[in-house]
Amino acid sequence: MRPTLTKGWRRVGAAVALAAMLVTTACSGGTDTNTSGSAQPTGDVTLVIGAYSVAKDAFGELLPKFQEEWQEKTGQKVVFQESYEASGTQARAIAGGFEADVTLLAMESDIDKIQKAGFITEDWRNAPNGGMITNSIVVMGTREGNPKGIKEWTDLTRDGVKVLYPNPKTSGGAQWDINAMYGAGLKQSEQETGTKDPEYAKAFLKQIHRNVESLDKSGRASMAAFEYGVGDVIITYENELLARIKQGVQYDIVVPKSTILIENPAAVVDVNADKHGVREVADAFVAYLHTAEAQQVFAEYGFRPVEETVAKETAGQFQTPEDLFDISYLGGWEEVRSLLYSAKGVWYQVLADL
């Protein structure tokens, strides 16, 4: 699908071709047409959002709320131009020149790509909660009634169980999924031998991967395939399944004993926001995402809030896994990128059946 571009869209030469795959819409402010027929933005300021696809539904409610608050506070209208894609794809687009002012992505390593490309110049982790906006966990979704009797990760290694998760080359969600399975393998090796055994974890991941039906470009694409009838189990974010259940889609959620805490960051893309003269509103928008009001909206869409008060208020909505771990258990993102996703890393060894 080709994006619809108005005069307000910031063009960046050849880099726009990279972003052409991204779906772009204007939020609330819209456009007016003058007597010559050309589109003119109605807002006083335009803020370009480059986000991962999972955030789209919650942003549909959050952006108008921020617009209203900002106009009441400053008298200034904000027009949002939004782009949603798989997290890795979005990060590469921004690092390649897509001029987003604010980004919300699946994981900090994708923000780091933009920072290493020189577009984020300040330490985004100095924000509240280390720059994280939402949390979630990796879970399994089955068809209604759980006909395959899935209870744990080990059940995904059984003959006849067809598994779905997306491709880690494009999807941040896929990397969280793989991290969860690999980490669960490490946990099992610790229980059996007393120490973390990377070879055991790799073999465990390989056993599950042999039952993978397809690797889609994003978590949303995997979910669409699953709902079309592909596979028996989908590995995905808890919030994705909760949101779909809220919309009336029938899923059973299986929370494994050992799984990983997902942390989703947001940041101002400093170079772009300064270039476009929107730094004040960009900073205010990211700050707004940390507020209790915004966190409550995220909770309504299945995310685990990071703001302390809302987290306590909504704790009953979420199941706590018995053995929840975070990215530090795997050595942190730098170690994970090298160990799992480098050219000769564990994931590519699993693909090659090495």
**Tens of pLDDT, residues 174-217:** 999 999 999 999 999 999 999 999 999 999 999 999 999 989 98
Output the pTM of the full model. Answer: 0.84
**Stretch 248-263: mean pLDDT:** 96
- pLDDT score of 43: 58
- pLDDT score of 11: 38
**Tens of pLDDT, residues 86-136:** 899 999 999 999 999 999 999 999 999 999 999 999 999 999 999 999 999
CA separation for the pair 147, 187 (Å, rounded): 27
Tokens describing residue 23: 């779906």
- pLDDT score of 213: 92
Sign of CA dihedral 72, 75, 79, 80: negative
User: 298 vs 3, which has greater pLDDT?
Assistant: 298
Does pLDDT of 9 surpass 60? no
User: 35 vs 99, which has greater pLDDT?
Assistant: 99
- pLDDT score of 63: 98
- pLDDT score of 209: 94
Q: Judging by beta carbons within 10 Å of its beta carbon (0-12, 13-18, 19+), is residue 204 exposed, middle or buried?
A: buried
Tokens describing residue 63: 């952006």
Phi, psi for 254 (deg, rounded to 5): -110, 120
Sign of CA dihedral 68, 72, 268, 26: positive
C-beta separation of 117 from 60 below 8 A: no
**Stretch 315-341: mean pLDDT:** 94
Does pLDDT of 342 surpass 70? yes
At position 336, the amino acid (one-letter code) is V
If pLDDT is split at 50, 70 and 90, which confidence band does 172 have? confident
> Tokens 């309504």 belong to which residue?
300
Does pLDDT of 20 surpass 80? no
CA separation for the pair 60, 65 (Å, rounded): 9
C-beta separation of 302 from 240 below 8 A: yes
If pLDDT is split at 50, 70 and 90, which confidence band does 245 have? very high
User: 14 vs 141, which has greater pLDDT?
Assistant: 141
Does pLDDT of 35 surpass 50? no
Give the strand pairing for 323-325 and 258-268.
parallel
